[in-house]
Structure 1
Amino acid sequence: MTATPPIPEPQLRLSLTPDGATAGRLDGAWWPRSHDLVTELSSLAAELDEQWSRVTRVALNPNHWPVIPHLIPVADHVVHGGAFSQEQDPNEIMVCSFAQLRLDLLVIPPETGQAEAAALMSAAADPANTRTVQPHPTPPAPPTRTAAPMTVDPVTAGFCEPTGAS
């Protein structure tokens, strides 16, 4: 009897702007394979934990995610999830890390075709990209990414608000 080889996990579909790129509106794109946040966030957090910093929080619009738990187990830690219907763009995820970093990623719906998704991922990760996810009635505020001083809440081990924000 021949043993069936294990099926490899599908590769994470993530495209980030290169290190040293000027801060833009988007830091890249993520193309999840389903609308199951618990399953999808696990592979995203594992990748970002390794190459960026330990993920502590995510903020999403519930438009594409039927369930957004407040606590999401990933690898060897828990990520705090937040659902924001009006404040968060439906096609974006904000990812915060323990190292007080923030990523704003375009979320490409799982059902998007390969060619369209590839074009979107490439455009979102382009270092010259200053486009928003969707048109907004007023111009977006300047990004408050990694350059802004941030406070860390020792209880939750990470917080995404810049110091002095109200």
Structure 2
Amino acid sequence: MTSGPPPTPFPADRSRPLPRLRLKPPALPVGHVDGAWWPRSRDLVAELPALAGALADRLGVVERVVFARTFWGTAPEHVEFDGRTVTLLGFAALDTDVVQVSSTDHRHVDLLVVPPDADGRAADRALALASASDHTRLPAQILAAAGIASGPTSGPASGSASGPASGPAPAVGEHPPVHRTRHRTHSGRGRGLPTG
């Protein structure tokens, strides 16, 4: 086993406001995300303590966070929080609009990430769309429907700027429901894996 640098401690300041987070009900997940998160910055290490605390009832102890380096930039491989180590896995070729948070018992949530500098009304629309129990849109489509550009920079989505050259935003299509049960559970009763 290769040992790396010691875990980076999470910031000790717990006075940060609660995360701007909305989740679908914990029943059978439908769609591509389980909810949405609107962080206040692109500093993943600073944002994670509040997010991990808010997800504790749903997931239990957070063990791993998978994120897009193109959105968040670099982060240490491990951070320490409340006496436990959380692994941070950043990938360059990952959907920039999603972060996956996993627990020690292999439950996880896939969250749409609303860019921190998004307009408040547009961000609220994205949070509502992503947490709707019956939505089936892709993450980039949710952001576009809310009027937010997808990807590492934010701003108005394509076609939502005002002016003579812009037309209406393209219609955002719905996808058939996606029932994600393999390797996930929201009840903690098994992982959906074959028992061999």
TM-score by structure 1 length?
0.75
Residue pair 1:46, 1:74 contacting (<8 A) in 2 also: no
- List aligned pairs for 1:59-74, cutoff 5 A: 59-74=66-81
User: Which residue number corresponds to residue 121 of structure 1?
Assistant: 127
User: Which residue number corresponds to residue 61 of structure 2?
Assistant: 54
- List aligned pairs for 1:2-151, cutoff 5 A: 8-86=15-93, 88-134=94-140, 143=180, 144=182, 146-147=184-185, 150=191
Q: Partners in 1 of 2:85 and 2:63 — Cα distance?
A: 7
CA RMSD of aligned residues (A): 2.6
Q: Partners in 1 of 2:96 and 2:131 — Cα distance?
A: 19
1:42-85 Cα deviation digits (max 9, x unpaired):
11012212443111111111112122211022233221010111
Distance apart, 1:99 and its partner CA: 2.0
Number of residue pairs aligned between Structure 1 and Structure 2: 143
Q: For 1:63, what is the secondary structure of its paired residue?
A: helix
Q: Partners in 1 of 2:106 and 2:15 — Cα distance?
A: 33
Distance apart, 1:146 and its partner CA: 2.0
Q: Partners in 1 of 2:30 and 2:43 — Cα distance?
A: 30
Q: For 1:18, what is the secondary structure of its paired residue?
A: coil
Instruction: Quote the sequence identity (%).
Output: 30
Residue pair 1:23, 1:145 contacting (<8 A) in 2 also: no
Going from structure 1 to structure 2, the CA distance change for 1:34 and 1:74 (only over 3 Å counts) comes to same
Residue pair 2:112, 2:139 contacting (<8 A) in 1 also: yes
Q: For 1:130, what is the secondary structure of its paired residue?
A: coil
Larger Rg: 2
Q: Partners in 2 of 1:10 and 1:146 — Cα distance?
A: 29
> Which residue identity is paired with 2:125?
A
